[in-house]
Amino acid sequence: MVKIYEMRTMINSVSRQIQLCYVLIFQLFSFSLAAQDFYKGVDLSYVNELEACGATYTDAAGEPGEPYHILASAGSNVVRLRLWHDPAWTSFSNLEDVRVSIAKAKAAGMSVMLDFHYSDFWADPGRQWRPAAWESIESDEVLADSVYQYTTNVLIHLHELNLLPEMVQIGNETNGNILLTRGEAAIDGSGDARLYPVDWSRQVDLLQHGVDAVKDLNQSLGTDVKTILHVAGPHNATYWFEEATSAGLSDFDIIGLSYYPQWHEMGVRALGETVALLKGRFNKEVMIVETGYPWTTDSSGDNANNVLGFGSRLFTYSSTFSIETQRDFLTELTWLVKDNGGLGVVYWEPAWVATDCATYWGTGSHWDNATLFDFEGRLHGGSDFLSYDYSVMPEALSDQEVTFMVDMTGVEVDNGVFVTGDFTGITWSLLPMSLSANNLYLLETTIPGRTTGAYIYYNNDLWSDPYREQVPALCADVWDTHREYRVKGDSATFHFAWGSCDQVPIEIALGLDTTSPVVVFPTFVQNTLRVKSASPIRRYEIVDMNGRTAFSMKNTDNSIEVDHVSPGLYILKVWGDDGLVQITRFIKM
């Protein structure tokens, strides 16, 4: 293999003045960037372009500042930056731009993750165009050598400027075949049939040359740059890395994942379990290198449609989007990644606010509803996940009180009534239920918050289909046979009639004493429910007719805003000091 010192041809000439400028920066901010135990980061690939377009930013107190320093002060310790080879359509995210960004990140005290797309455009599961400069290469051997030399030369160039990143991504979302010829296809075209199935021999050879470039550079220079292989969707990762390592991929350091609830159907609990599984199976560090969650479905008023919207909603979180929900999602996701042995979480792209400048697809920002800055460019509470104390488990992840309830009217119960589900453990157990009243059977237990899972009822303690209820397809949400529970950050009740989607009238089951009733009005409501009570009210919960919580609030106010709740029939549950005290039905108009 050609030695690194034999390939030190720089991609671009850099003037001595620029080099001295960067050196001066590090003399002014002299410190050692020690490796982090855990990374809480941000992808700021758009910032230079946005500031050139007039974007301004302030911290949470309203003080103007530079985004790198604002986010570093908020708790970020790593910045991720994309690198395109020679993007003729933009003057940003090329090597010259990346030099500026790395200098800003390091001056703000943050480590750097450099994301080689090996393309002149976005590389992702739907497109993997090779750079135009490599379009005519016919041999995969020459193509692999190009990956090696390009990676080496970029990193040596950055090293000589004291801008060497701490981590390097070898490709971006490399689910499908990488470095495809583009031909006459549009640069933003996606869905090329050649992406799949993956040619693992070719795929691994190309990626391995990128990994080897970093490995050889470390050996030559005595550095310790870490390599990341990046796959979109945690549900794809086990298969992808099994195939890749079986085909010979080795010596990389970190498994990188994209996790967006809008596209990746996995809850935060399952994501944490996937992190632990990947780390254990492949003996690699695991990191979420991209994630995103909207704080609103509104727009700043620009002409760019929002990419993230209602599809991002997780059923274990509020049905509405807010800064608080975004903060909770990011905090709990990050805690679960760390608790399961993960290396870190990076948010994409927190500073992509709207400006009058155009992106490739439109004028403004397609992400202004998912940033960590509000529409005025002020850092908002979603950024609090960066400063959270991750030695403390977020409250919503703690065990929550859960009641399973089934109406057995007309069903044989001589052998008892049981409930089972994955909440009972890896090996499911049949748990006996207690008779409450009027053929209603209950089981009270605890389940960790933000959890979804399967459950079903039996009328015998024998594992046999004749004793298992037959759940109608309408509410058999798991495997088309089982019911699904969804636990948010508070108590929950799941209540149905045996073999039916009909809800149990839970006020009978709980034997509520309504001699001192809570008065709720009006019955038909558009915006606000009014509540009157002689004693303090501690919590409200609005449940739809499928038993799913539509809205929950810990509050003592006597009004409940329901304008965000979809039209339909709901149950309002009201808790006081002594527990559940009132259940009322109302219709949202």
Question: 471 and 477 in contact (C-beta within 8 Å)?
Answer: no
Q: Give the DSSP per-residue string, 395-430.
A: GGGSEEEEEEEEE-TTS--TT--EEEEGGG-SS---
CB-neighbour burial class of residue 84 (10 A; exposed 0-12, middle 13-18, buried 19+): buried
- CA pair distance 367, 348, nearest whole angstrom: 9
Residue 520: its pLDDT value, please? 67
- Range 395-411 average pLDDT: 95
Instruction: Note if 349 is an active site residue.
Output: no
Of 418, 497, 483, the C-alpha closest to 453 is 483
Q: Supply the pLDDT for residue 579.
A: 64
Chain-centroid distance of CA 79 in Å reads 17
Question: What confidence tens digit (pLDDT) does each residue in 44-60 have?
Answer: 999 999 999 999 999 99
Structure-token match 């933000």, residue found: 450
Name the pLDDT band for 526 (thresholds 50, 70, 90).
low
Is pLDDT above 60 for 11? Answer: no
From the list 177, 288, 168, 166, the residue with the least C-alpha distance to 228 is: 168
- Report which of 446, 406, 454 is spatially closest to residue 426, judged by C-alpha positions: 454
pLDDT in tens, 538-559: 778 888 766 677 777 766 567 7
Confidence of residue 35 (pLDDT cuts 50, 70, 90): low
Which residues make beta-bridge pairs with 79? Answer: 42, 112
Q: Supply the pLDDT for residue 505.
A: 61
Q: Is 332 a catalytic residue?
A: no
pLDDT at 406: 96
| 531-537 contacts at long range (C-beta below 8 A, 24 or more positions apart) | 531/558, 531/559, 531/560, 531/574, 532/558, 533/558, 533/574, 533/576, 535/576, 535/577, 535/581, 536/576, 536/577, 537/574, 537/575, 537/576
Q: If you average pLDDT over residues 332-354, what whole number do you get?
A: 98
**pLDDT tens, 357-385?**
888 888 999 999 999 999 999 999 999 99
Q: Express each pLDDT in 143-185 by its tens digit.
A: 999 999 999 999 999 999 999 999 999 999 999 999 999 999 9
Tell me the pLDDT band of 17, cut-offs 50, 70 and 90: very low
Q: What predicted TM-score, i.e. pTM, was given to this entire model? A: 0.81
- Average pLDDT estimate for 498-503: 91
DSSP-assigned letters across all residues of 423-487? GG-SS---EE-EEEETTEEEEEEEEESSEEEEEEEESSSS--GGGB----GGG-TBTTTBEEEEE
Query: What tens digit of pLDDT does each residue of 431-456 get?
Result: 999 998 789 999 999 999 999 999 99
pLDDT interval class at 12 (50, 70, 90):
very low
Question: Distance between CA atoms of 12 and 96, rounded to whole angstroms?
Answer: 9
Q: Which of 285, 290, 469, 541 is catalytic?
A: 290
pLDDT tens-digit readout, 209-247: 999 999 999 999 999 999 999 999 999 999 999 999 999
What local confidence, expressed as pLDDT, does residue 238 receive? 97
> Which segment of 216-220, 422-426, 518-522, 566-570 scores lowest on mean pLDDT?
518-522
Percent above pLDDT 90 for the chain = 74
pLDDT tens digits for 52-83? 999 999 999 999 999 999 999 999 999 999 99
In the predicted structure, residue 109 carries a pLDDT above the cut 70: yes
